[in-house]
Amino acid sequence: DAKTTQPNSMESNEEEPVHLPCNHSTISGTDYIHWYRQLPSQGPEYVIHGLTSNVNNRMASLAIAEDRKSSTLILHRATLRDAAVYYCILRDGGAQKLVFGQGTRLTINP
């Protein structure tokens, strides 16, 4: 499984944008970039995914580097409820399982 590298932790303030980086230098052409998050005492939750182009949904935006070796999850206006562990996961288009790393623990200050 292709490996991702994320900072262990990040901190931001409420109502400010947050940029969560992910490096995946060994990504293959068929790997999709998925982001999940895990709120305290809950199961993981899908956030967004993409292949090559930047993606937007109601939760976040995903910016993918042109060479696909890195990506950034953008929370446009963080709230206290966004405090969670964020996981960047590479998944081959034909695969079923998700392979979680340690993720980035995001703290939001009021």
Partner 1 sequence: EPEVTQTPSHQVTQMGQEVILRCVPISNHLYFYWYRQILGQKVEFLVSFYNNEISEKSEIFDDQFSVERPDGSNFTLKIRSTKLEDSAMYFCASSETAGDSYNEQFFGPGTRLTVL
Q: How far is the CB of 65 from partner 1 (least distance, A)?
A: 19
Residue 101 lies near partner 1 (rule: CB under 8 A): yes
The span from the CA of 74 to the CA of 63, in Å, is 8
Q: Which is nearer to partner 1, 7 or 49 (CB)?
A: 49
- Given 53, 66, 67, 96, the residue binding partner 1 (CB under 8 A): 96
Query: Which positions from 6 through 65 interact with partner 1, judged by CB under 8 A?
Result: 32, 38, 42-46, 49, 51
Question: How far is residue 18 from each of residues 38, 48, 84, 93, measured CA to CA in Å?
Answer: 16, 15, 13, 28
How many of the other CB atoms lie within 10 Å of CB of 1?
Answer: 14
The span from the CA of 13 to the CA of 2, in Å, is 32
Provide the binding-site residues for partner 1, judged by CB under 8 A: 32, 38, 42-46, 49, 51, 87, 91, 93-102
